[in-house]
Structure 1
Amino acid sequence: MNRPALRDAGMLVFGPVRDLEDPDVVHWLRAFPSMEERERIKAAFYDGPVWEKDVEPIVMPMIEQFEASIAEATEGFEELC
């Protein structure tokens, strides 16, 4: 994945993070201001030219399995950052 491209699209990106139990697994954490902004930012990025021309052709052939989940930070999390 291209971290600068994700950040340029408006995502706060942590990663890649290597899995300590499986060296073939990489985690990416992305943060968004809200669920509404998440949908807008993702749609703009994944339907846009950077993903379609520069990132997807390189990244997708390397991905054997893709899994995503959505989590929400607990109250006060931002104060810790």
Structure 2
Amino acid sequence: MVFLFDKSKNTLTVSNAWKLLSSQRGEGFVDTAIKILISVVIGALVLSGLYALFGETVLPTLKERIVDMFNYGK
């Protein structure tokens, strides 16, 4: 027999256990898998965008600034 604690009445009841075990609420495996898949795809898109931004825009400019900063021959 399973007993659960009823917070409203401060008692243990078997009917609360039966209601909890027979309820159809909750999150399914398919829902969780879809959420994980969507987050992975969005994360990959964000990372590829950042990689493209830093690879073509930020890093060449940064390299030129560093070379100009340490080029004492000019």
TM over 0.5: no
Q: Which structure has greater strand proportion?
A: 1
- What TM-score does the superposition give when structure 1 sets the normalisation length? 0.22
> Counting helix residues as a fraction of each chain, which structure ranks higher?
2
TM-score calculated relative to the size of structure 2: 0.24
Structure with higher Rg: it is 2
